Amino acid sequence: MSRTIAFIGLGIMGLPMAKNLQAAGFSVVGCNRSPERAEQLAEAGGRAAGSIAEAVQGADVIITMVPDSPDVREVLTADDGVLAHAEPGAYWIDASTIRPDVAGELADQAREAGLHPLDAPVSGGEQGAIDAALSIMVGGEQADFDAVGDVLGAVGKTVVRVGPSGSGQTVKAANQLIVAGNIQMLAEAVVFLEAYGVDTDSALEVLGGGLAGSKVLDQKGRKMLDRSFDPGFRLELHHKDMGIVTAAAREAGVVIPLAGAVAQLVAATVRQGDGGLDHSGLFKLVEQLSGTGDPTRG
């Protein structure tokens, strides 16, 4: 029989992930603060739940995909939350991006309640979620990871257990550091190229074929050239993530100076009111600092 999956948090990433799970043959019950998102899942063959308690009732697997550490804590520990209503023995997969220490703490609480916890943050953006091609870094017990391999495989292309509980979030923090640094350098490169009047389409094509090539260049270069920053991953969320990685580095006693600089640039962009833009919107700040931006555009 097909397993039932409760999916809590149907945002930019969560809804396409839930739809892919439904398409893969699982029975998916969705719950979201904005009910219309759950209704979109229902239109794709799933079922909409009016509360977390309703969503997790009878679920074999529970997936949470919410914005930040306090949100995950609330979903898990509230009176109508996961711990109070999930079936003993269910697998809880947190696909959110949160602090590694919080992930470890909540995993302990979940185990005490009889659940099998895995922190499994994802990378790949909205398109990766739509294409079921996400990279998923998983922390938790090997047996639990093995037990939900089919679930994770239905939404991800690269799925790797990276260690015990909290490890997935640690690797995701490193991922967000690398992505933010790449976006910042790509933005600077585009502003530099435009200042010299070169054919930027051709320039990015040839750069993408060499050592400078990256998924960031492939996915974000065109958005910068077009000044089109509809969110695939919002700057305000990357701002949160940079806070996670810089705090975790300080706690570990390691020095990441470029991360600090990029974190401040992300923060400045958000503070200027651009937190709702795609994280490629860092380009706007580079233009502004260079005095080359058109205030009437994007």
CB 12 within 8 A of CB 231: yes
**295 CB-near residues (< 8 Å, 6+ apart):** none
Query: Which token pair is 296?
Result: 């009437």
For 17-55, give the DSSP string: HHHHHHHTT-EEEEE-SSHHHHHHHHHTT-EE-SSHHHH
3-state secondary structure of 63: strand
Burial (0-12, 13-18, 19+ Cβ within 10 Å), 229: buried
CB 166 within 8 A of CB 144: no
From first CA to last CA, the distance across the chain in angstroms is 50
172 is catalytic: yes
| Distance of alpha carbon 9 from alpha carbon 32, whole angstroms | 5
Active-site entry in 172, 220, 223, 284: 172
| Distance of alpha carbon 196 from alpha carbon 198, whole angstroms | 6
CB 117 within 8 A of CB 94: yes
CB 2 within 8 A of CB 27: yes
What positions carry a catalytic annotation? 172
